[in-house]
Structure 1
Amino acid sequence: MEKITIPTEPIGSIPRPKELIIAQRNYRYGTMTYDRLCDYYTRAIQTTIQQFETTGSSVITDGEQTKPSFLTYPIFILFNEYYTFSADCFSLKFADGHQRLLPRLIKAPFRYALYAHTYIDIAKQMTQLPIKQAVITPSALSMVYPKATIRGYSHEQFLNDLTNECEKDIRLCLESGAYCVQLDFTEARFSLKIDPSGQLLKDFVQLNNQVLDRFTFQEQRRLGVHVCPGGDQDCYHSFEVDYLEVLPSLFKLHVSNFYLQITSETNRERIFLCIREHMKSWHRIFIGVINPIDPRVESAKEVCDQILEAVKYIPIEQLGTTDDCGFSPFDDDESTSRQMAFDKIQARIDGTHMAEKQLMMNR
């Protein structure tokens, strides 16, 4: 009898060590050199990879230890020269009232200062395990220049530069040997708060597909998309938006892997029914079985039970498991400890193996 294997993968970010957060703060205040900060970065990446390996995870990330955030890493070092923060900036507003701002472009042309393959190049020197890399979507970055405000730089020119840079970011990750490249599409659910008609979400999907269509079908099999209601400082930015209004549009994206927040939903059956209706035969559905903002560590049995529920709707050969969201998508988020994050990851892995054994017995 053929063995049942359910792939399980992290989303990306892991809380940074306290000493790294302090070092970053000291660097910003001018009391630490960049070379010294890099020493802290290196140690954080090494420790994160070692802890991933200890869990038995077959696919890992670098924990995004050197990303300022999942959202701004390509343009972060250009902030002072190319961007400004003002009242009209795009803002992710969270349930507790705090905000995360995306700056506004004030100098053309739009360009990346850093590509995500650099994270892979460093991480693969420290591990033999497959490395997954998260990148930001073009739709998210499109909000730095929603309309033409720079003389001689049209919105069409901006979108062309944006799609070129996003394609390059993904392609360089593939060329660097990424096992999978995951597009973080947290603005999908949030877009329906801004525009309940759904037109903005359609525009976002169309823009993302303009980039994804530059890749072959075989390349798209190594691409995925992650969507969630946004987790930061133990709260969400768009949990109140009905998931069923998002999922049909999500499955129009030209990727093969879908990393979906599930476990925090109160009525999972209706979500699974929607997934079953819209998924294609070449899709892999990674269901979230861990809630990163829940202060309780899930048990392996709870994870197993969620998987057994999911296989009633999703074929086993198309099923995978993941976490609902990254554990620290912004570098200053200390709401979850590193130990808590890895305890939850361990529960996901153990629970997935438990489900594999149970499903084999059921056969």
Structure 2
Amino acid sequence: MVGSAIVSDGDQRWSSFATYPITDTLADTGLAPNLAPGGQYFTIFADGHHRQLPRLTGGPFRYKTYAADGLRKSITFATRPMKQAVISPSMLALLYPLSEEVADYPREAFEAHPVGECEKDVRQAFEAGAARVSIDFTEGRPALREDPRNPWTGAGMLPHFIDLISRVLDRVPPEQCVNIGLRTCPGGDRGSVHSADVPYTSLLPSVFRLNAGYSLIQFASEREKDPVLQAIGEHSRDDANGVPQVCFIGVTNFQNPRVESPQEIRDLLVRAARFIPKERLGATDDCGFSPFSIDEKPLHGSLDYARDVAFQKIRNRVEGARMAAESLGV
């Protein structure tokens, strides 16, 4: 329908990209065992609305749903290879209270479980037929925000988040890490973002220390583009434990209903190739079409129109990438 070589189901079966393993709805119905409503805010968006996680009440922590559970249903309809997104262990680490200990379940013991569950999530996705798996790491940028309304963002957690994800990747052989990526963004929900004010250049050096085969980097909505491209070029690696890091930059902004033309997308990718080796450069879409199931898409006016716009943006991204490849000789 859109011409993309690899497709996904857009998390349409889940309450959200972040909570699919632990709850049936964003109203905290159908919670996994040892969880209760009323945990930390995952984030507070620029327009003031927030998304909240459950809180951990005891151990052990286990997923009730894996990404592969949805993939097995979606892949039966696919005519192209599929990519499956999974949530990071660092997001789920926020289930643990920031400044207190859960009885008989110290933080170190707990965090071994999200790491193990994320590894299982990744492995099951590949076993279910995923051609690629991406780990959603949207909490990376807020970890540098220091928002007093949301205390975890000022707790210096980015190095620890990177360590948790690295523990997952270290359990996967390099030949499989080629097809495991990391997605990073400033959020996108109800037409608002949560951390666009945090310089990307503060986050990207840490992201590229991970031995992931590729990165999906929200980029089209960035105001200052060249510093971001320069950071990607400087910090991405030709050899990450035997794996070259491919950098897929966002070329369509799903928060904006305006549809980018293929020519705009081509020009953006050609511009990016001045900073990033063209053999390690790719195109993706910015996040934010529908990461939460209750997003009303207020900037678009209706969900149906937003969906039509999304598909047109993807079509143009595919065509613009083809034009850029032709211009760059790759």
TM-score, normalised with respect to structure 2: 0.89
After superposing on structure 2, the runs of 4+ consecutive aligned residues of structure 1 that deviate more than 6 Å are 195-198
Residue 280 of structure 2 corresponds to: 318
CA contact (8 A) 2:219 2:225 kept: yes
Q: 1:172, 1:262 → 2: CA distance?
A: 30
Displacement after TM superposition at 1:81 (Å): 5.3
Q: 2:269, 2:184 → 1: CA distance?
A: 19
Displacement after TM superposition at 1:196 (Å): 7.5
CA contact (8 A) 1:133 1:173 kept: yes
Q: 2:231, 2:277 → 1: CA distance?
A: 14
| 3-state SS of paired residue (2:20) | coil
Gaps of 5+ in 2: 25-29, 147-151, 239-243, 301-305
Residue 119 of structure 2 corresponds to: 167
Q: 2:42, 2:92 → 1: CA distance?
A: 12
Q: 2:320, 2:40 → 1: CA distance?
A: 42
**1:92 maps to which of 43, 66, 69:** 43
Instruction: Report 1:1-363 matches (<5 A).
Output: 54-77=1-24, 78-79=30-31, 82-86=34-38, 89-146=40-97, 149-194=101-146, 199-281=156-238, 282-335=244-297, 336=300, 337-360=306-329
| 3-state SS of paired residue (1:57) | coil
Q: 2:178, 2:32 → 1: CA distance?
A: 38
Gaps of 5+ in 1: 1-53
Cα deviations by residue, 1:6-33 (Å, 9 ceiling, x for unpaired) = xxxxxxxxxxxxxxxxxxxxxxxxxxxx
Structure 1 window deviating more from structure 2 (210-219 vs 150-159): it is 150-159
Residue 50 of structure 1 corresponds to: none
Cα deviations by residue, 1:285-319 (Å, 9 ceiling, x for unpaired) = 00110011012111111101101101111122111
CA contact (8 A) 1:89 1:101 kept: yes
Identical-residue share of aligned pairs (%): 40
Q: 1:176, 1:254 → 2: CA distance?
A: 23
Letter in 1 for 2:18: L
Cα deviations by residue, 1:211-261 (Å, 9 ceiling, x for unpaired) = 110011111111000000001111100000111101111111120100011
Structure 1 window deviating more from structure 2 (232-241 vs 169-178): it is 169-178
Q: 1:297 to 1:69 in 2, by over 3 A?
A: same
Structure 1 window deviating more from structure 2 (118-127 vs 146-155): it is 146-155
Residue 149 of structure 2 corresponds to: none
TM-score, normalised with respect to structure 1: 0.81
| 3-state SS of paired residue (2:168) | helix
Q: 1:163, 1:270 → 2: CA distance?
A: 33
Q: 2:129, 2:108 → 1: CA distance?
A: 32
Q: 2:233, 2:324 → 1: CA distance?
A: 20
Residue 9 of structure 1 corresponds to: none
Q: 2:112, 2:59 → 1: CA distance?
A: 12
Displacement after TM superposition at 1:199 (Å): 3.2
Letter in 1 for 2:320: G
CA contact (8 A) 1:297 1:343 kept: yes
Structure 1 window deviating more from structure 2 (284-293 vs 74-83): it is 74-83
Displacement after TM superposition at 1:71 (Å): 0.5
Letter in 2 for 1:154: P
Displacement after TM superposition at 1:158 (Å): 0.8
| 3-state SS of paired residue (1:347) | helix
Letter in 2 for 1:224: G
Q: 1:224, 1:196 → 2: CA distance?
A: 24
Question: Which protein has the larger Cα radius of gyration, Structure 1 or Structure 2?
Answer: 1
Letter in 2 for 1:358: S
